[in-house]
Amino acid sequence: MNKIFGPLLIGLLVGLVVLSSSMYTVDQRQNALVFQLGEVVSVKKSPGLYFKLPMVQNIRYFDTRILTLDAADPERFITSEKKNVLVDSFIKWRVIDARQFYVSVAGDETRAEIRLNQTVNDGLRAEFGKRTINDVVSGRREEIMKIIRAKADQDARKIGVQVVDVRIKRVDLPETVSENVYRRMEAERKQVANELRSTGAAEAEKIKADADKQKEVIVAEAYRDAQSVKGLGDAKASALYATAYGKNAEFYAFYRSMQAYRESFKSKSDVMVLDPSADFFKYLKNPRAAGGK
C-alpha cells in the first residue's frame, strides 16, 4: 500500500497536468479556433468542454457577442441640397465566422472596425448625397439605415462579421447654420406673437363695438316706447278732460278761471291796485246795489 501511494500521487499529479493541457472550455460568449502547427484545424461554435492534443494544438478565442462601434466625433456629409450635416452613427456588429475573421483581419477587432467604419461612411455619404435634410431627419431615416445596414453587412461577411444594425444617432447642422436656424425661429415666433396680439385686439374691438351698438339700440327703443306710452296717457287724459269739460264749456271756463285766479294771486307781495267801482265792491257802498247776474 505504501509503496503504491507515493508513485500513485506523483502519477496523479502528472496526469492532472497533462489532462489540463489537453482540455479546454469554450464559453457561451465565445467561439474558438483550434490551431495545429499554425493552421486552423477546427472551429468550435458551441460552448462546453473539449479535448485537444497538448503542446501540439493551441486555442484562440473570439468574442461572439454584439459589439458597438461608436465614433467619437461626428462625420460631415453633404445632402442633395448642397447643405452640410453632422452625423453621428453607431454600428452593431459581431463575429459569426471566426475562421474568416482570423484569416482576413487576423482577429483584430480594431482592424475590423476600421473597415466597417469606412464601409458605413461610404454608404452614408452616398445615401445622404441623394436626399434632402428633411428626408434624412424625418421621412427617410429608417429607410436609409436599412439600406446602409444591408450594404455594410454584405461587405462585412467577407471578414466573417455580421452587421446587426447601423443607426443614425444624431443629425445636426453645423454651427453657422444653426445660428441661421435660430434667427429664423425667432422671426417666425415674433410673427406669431404679433398676429396673436393683433387678432386679440381686433376681436376685443368687435365685441366692444357690438356692446355699444346694442346699448344704443336698447336705450333708443326704450325711449321710443316710453314716449309712446306717455303719449297714450296724455291722449287718454285729454279725452277725459274734453269729455268732462265739454259738457259745459262756458262753466268750465269760469270755473277754471276762478281756480287760476286763486293760484295766481296768493302771495302778499302781489299788489293789486283796484278801482272801488268794480262789481266786487258794489255792496261796499250801497247794501241795496243791483242784483248780480
| Contact in structure between 31 and 98 (CB atoms under 8 Å) | yes
> Binding string to another protein for residues 50 to 69, with x set by CB under 8 A, is what?
-------------x-xxxx-
Q: Which of 100, 147, 139 is nearest to 122 (CA)?
A: 147
The string over 70-108, giving b where at least 16 C-beta atoms fall within 10 Å of a residue's C-beta and e elsewhere, is ebeebbebebeeeeebbbbbebbbbbbbbebbbebbebe
245 binds another protein (CB under 8 A): yes
Distance CA 172, CA 73 (A): 12
Backbone torsions φ then ψ of 255, nearest 5 degrees = -60, -45
247 binds another protein (CB under 8 A): yes
How many residues touch another protein under the rule CB under 8 A: the total is: 120
- Span from 34-42, 97-105, 155-163, 249-257 in contact with another protein (CB under 8 A): 249-257
Q: Considering the complex, what minimum distance in angstroms separates the CB of residue 191 from another protein?
A: 9
81 binds another protein (CB under 8 A): no
121 binds another protein (CB under 8 A): no
User: Of 37, 267, 286, 290, which lies in the binding site for another protein, with binding defined by CB under 8 A?
Assistant: 267
| Contact in structure between 52 and 22 (CB atoms under 8 Å) | yes
Dihedral, CA of residue 5, residue 6, residue 8 and residue 9, to nearest 10: 110
User: Of 27, 84, 118, 129, which lies in the binding site for another protein, with binding defined by CB under 8 A?
Assistant: 27
210 binds another protein (CB under 8 A): yes
Distance CA 81, CA 63 (A): 43
Q: Considering the complex, what minimum distance in angstroms separates the CB of residue 65 from another protein?
A: 4
User: Of 134, 144, 150, 153, which lies in the binding site for another protein, with binding defined by CB under 8 A?
Assistant: 134
User: Of 35, 58, 90, 104, which lies in the binding site for another protein, with binding defined by CB under 8 A?
Assistant: 90
Q: Considering the complex, what minimum distance in angstroms separates the CB of residue 151 from another protein?
A: 19
> Binding string to another protein for residues 145 to 184, with x set by CB under 8 A, is what?
-------------------xx-xxxxxxx----x--xx--
Distances (CA, A) of 4 to 13, 68, 103, 279: 14, 58, 51, 187
* Closer CB to another protein, 111 or 170, in the complex: 170
User: Of 70, 114, 154, 158, which lies in the binding site for another protein, with binding defined by CB under 8 A?
Assistant: 70
Residue 16 grid cell = 492532472
User: Of 99, 131, 141, 157, which lies in the binding site for another protein, with binding defined by CB under 8 A?
Assistant: 141
Q: Residue 220 pairs with which residues in a beta bridge?
A: none
Give the number of other CB atoms < 10 A from CB of residue 124: 22
Q: Which of 89, 85, 93 is nearest to 113 (CA)?
A: 93
219 binds another protein (CB under 8 A): yes
- Span from 100-108, 113-121, 155-163, 239-247 in contact with another protein (CB under 8 A): 239-247
Who's near 130: CB < 8 A, 6+ residues apart? Answer: 80
For residue 84, what is the DSSP state? E
User: Of 43, 273, 286, 290, which lies in the binding site for another protein, with binding defined by CB under 8 A?
Assistant: 273
| Contact in structure between 110 and 128 (CB atoms under 8 Å) | no
User: Of 41, 56, 280, 289, which lies in the binding site for another protein, with binding defined by CB under 8 A?
Assistant: 280
